[in-house]
Amino acid sequence: MIDADYTTLLRQAYGTADHYLMHSIEDIDKRLGKGYAREHPELIAAYMWTAAADFGCASIAKEFGEAISNLAETLGRGVADRTELLNDTIETGDTVGKAIDGISEDLRRRG
């Protein structure tokens, strides 16, 4: 669960962007030659976008996983089996929605 308020998250965003920028330049120059990043700002933008997207997706998957685990604990063992399905689903690249649909199906059968 994310406990920070929106003001804190906004302030952290600046630091995160600076961190991605610094690492993008270092990594691009290390791989492609000194000064290459400065000459190709589109690579810096792509690097930063990829890093931000990866973190965002991983954060969402983590939040979903924790929420579903909590739900499984609350509702009992039958749904707990679906938590493992969710983890497998995320690892294989299927949608989280499929796993949630499976949990919903279990709940309908129980209810």
Across the chain, mean pLDDT equals: 79
Does the model's pTM come out above 0.85?
Answer: no
Q: Are residues 28 and 51 in contact, defined by beta-carbon separation less than 8 angstroms?
A: no
Q: Report residue 22's pLDDT band, with 50, 70 and 90 as the boundaries.
A: very high
Q: For residue 95, which phi and psi values (nearest 5 degrees)? A: -85, 150
CA distance 105 to 62: 22
Instruction: Look at 23 and 14; give whichever has higher pLDDT.
Output: 23
Instruction: From 56, 32, 55, select the one nearest 44 (Cα to Cα).
Output: 32
H helices within 4-95, ranges in order? 6-32, 36-39, 41-75, 77-92
Query: pLDDT digit string (tens) for 73-92?
Result: 666 655 556 556 666 655 55
| pLDDT at 94 (0 to 100) | 58
| pLDDT at 27 (0 to 100) | 96
Q: Residue 24: is it exposed, middle or buried by C-beta count within 10 angstroms (0-12/13-18/19+)?
A: buried
Where do the domains of the chain lie?
6-110
Q: CB neighbours of 35 closer than 8 A, spacing ≥ 6?
A: 29
Instruction: Determine the 3-state secondary structure of 2 from DSSP.
Output: coil
